[in-house]
């Protein structure tokens, strides 16, 4: 064997080995959304598309979901490493499954306020929460707004409400048809769906939970204890890359929708831009979020929510806020400073 051939072979083998090491250093992350590929999904699809996760040595795959409850259970089962879910759904899972060993933990707040609201047609005469007493409301049984409605009702003295359950695809149709007096749902989802059924936005009355004494947190990024224990650096890297992408999404929502379109080509681009902007304005860049800081929570508010969820959801055990949240993987305050100042 010639010396030149030997050196060339050695160099090739070294390159292959180096490539293998580089590949091994990339951590695969399976991520579960709470819902379909709609506007707000850009928060996670944009950092994938721009390579922010890849730059952080993470190979992130994002899958659509069918509700926060499903996202929580899939992360708990180990099918997914990280997910996006309503904090109340996470609390309920913890309190109803005290002996389950792999309960997910919230590691970053994204929707500082719950997006839940009660929506009705103005012609129904429902102008305030008090007007809901004695009315017929509709929502899927797992809807976050419906589950938390007892908290809303208690805060506003609402009584004698009857519920009609339906599939999510029928919720807004049944409201427009007059089958129910009002519905619960995420504002940025149901309001635009009502419009899509021929009702003008100005003809819809929206009672947002945060505006009427219900300061529940909304959706958070949740992680499996297994990932937290075995690869805490990956959790930290994920949150930093996500934050970088979220800043881009907040700065230019219209451009971010292209990343959603790439995953679901049949979405209505203009509608999803509006949905994303509405989500940013109501629950991401809200006054509470600016006061507490993007991604962060306040202990007393979390404790109050834990108590409210325990009562409203009638959980098997009381929610322990100390087991729900782990903020040790968050980026620095400077890195989290991504929310634009409110427009005057």
**Burial (CB count <10 Å: 0-12, 13-18, 19+), residue 32:** buried
pLDDT tens series, the chain, 344 aa: 566 655 566 655 655 554 554 455 899 999 999 999 999 999 999 999 999 999 999 999 999 998 899 999 999 999 999 999 999 999 999 999 999 989 999 999 999 999 999 999 999 999 999 999 999 999 999 888 999 999 999 999 999 999 999 999 999 999 999 999 999 999 999 999 999 999 999 999 999 999 999 999 999 999 999 999 999 999 999 999 999 999 999 999 999 999 999 999 999 999 999 999 999 999 999 999 999 999 999 999 999 999 999 999 999 999 999 999 999 999 999 999 999 987 76
pTM (two decimals):
0.90
Beta-strand runs (E) in the chain = 27-32, 58-63, 82-86, 105-109, 116-121, 136-138, 162-164, 182-186, 204-208, 219-223
Please, are residues 107 and 239 in contact by the beta-carbon 8 Å criterion?
A: yes
- CATH superfamily placement of domain 116-212: Periplasmic binding protein-like II (3.40.190.10)
Calculate ∠ Cα 314-146-322, nearest 5°: 50
Give the architecture-level CATH label for domain 8-113+217-324: 3-Layer(aba) Sandwich (3.40)
Structural domain boundaries of the chain? 8-113+217-324, 116-212
Q: Do domains 8-113+217-324 and 116-212 have the same CATH topology?
A: yes
Check residue 342 and give its pLDDT: 77
DSSP assigned state of 179: S
**Burial (CB count <10 Å: 0-12, 13-18, 19+), residue 233:** exposed
Tell me the C-alpha distance between 131 and 127, whole Å: 6
Check residue 93 and give its pLDDT: 97
Check residue 303 and give its pLDDT: 97
Kindly give the interhelix angle for 87-96 and 299-313, rounded to the nearest 10 degrees. 60
Check residue 341 and give its pLDDT: 83
């Amino acid at each position: 064997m010639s010396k030149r051939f030997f050196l060339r072979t050695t160099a090739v083998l070294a390159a292959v080995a180096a490539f293998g090491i580089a590949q091994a250093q990339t951590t695969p992350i399976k991520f579960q959304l709470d819902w379909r590929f709609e506007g707000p999904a850009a928060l996670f699809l944009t950092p994938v598309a721009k390579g922010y996760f890849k730059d952080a040595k993470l190979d992130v795959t994002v899958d659509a979901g069918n509700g926060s409850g499903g996202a929580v259970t899939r992360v708990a089962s180990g099918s997914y490493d990280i997910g996006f879910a309503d904090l109340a759904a996470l609390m309920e899972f913890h309190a109803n499954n005290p002996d389950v060993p792999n309960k997910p933990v919230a590691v970053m707040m994204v929707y500082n306020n719950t997006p839940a609201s009660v929506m009705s047609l103005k012609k129904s005469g429902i102008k305030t929460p008090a007007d809901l007493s004695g009315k017929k409301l509709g929502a899927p049984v797992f809807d976050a707004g419906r589950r938390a409605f007892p908290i809303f009702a208690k805060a506003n003295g609402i009584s004698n409400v009857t519920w009609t359950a339906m599939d999510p695809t029928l919720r807004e149709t049944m409201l427009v048809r007059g089958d129910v007096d009002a519905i619960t749902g995420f504002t940025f989802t149901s309001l635009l769906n009502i419009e899509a059924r021929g009702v003008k936005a100005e003809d819809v009355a929206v009672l947002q939970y945060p505006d009427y004494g219900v300061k529940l947190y909304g959706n958070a990024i949740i992680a499996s204890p297994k990932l937290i224990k075995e690869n805490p650096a990956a959790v930290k890297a994920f949150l930093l890359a996500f934050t970088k992408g979220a800043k881009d999404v907040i700065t230019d929502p219209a451009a971010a929708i292209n990343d959603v379109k790439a995953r679901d080509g049949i979405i209505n681009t203009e509608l999803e831009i509006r949905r994303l902007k509405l989500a940013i304005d109501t629950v991401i860049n809200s006054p509470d979020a600016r006061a507490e800081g993007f991604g962060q929570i306040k202990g007393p508010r979390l404790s109050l929510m834990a108590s409210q969820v325990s009562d409203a959801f009638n959980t098997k055990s009381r929610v322990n806020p100390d087991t729900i949240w782990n903020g040790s993987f968050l980026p620095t305050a400077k890195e989290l400073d991504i929310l634009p100042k409110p427009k005057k």
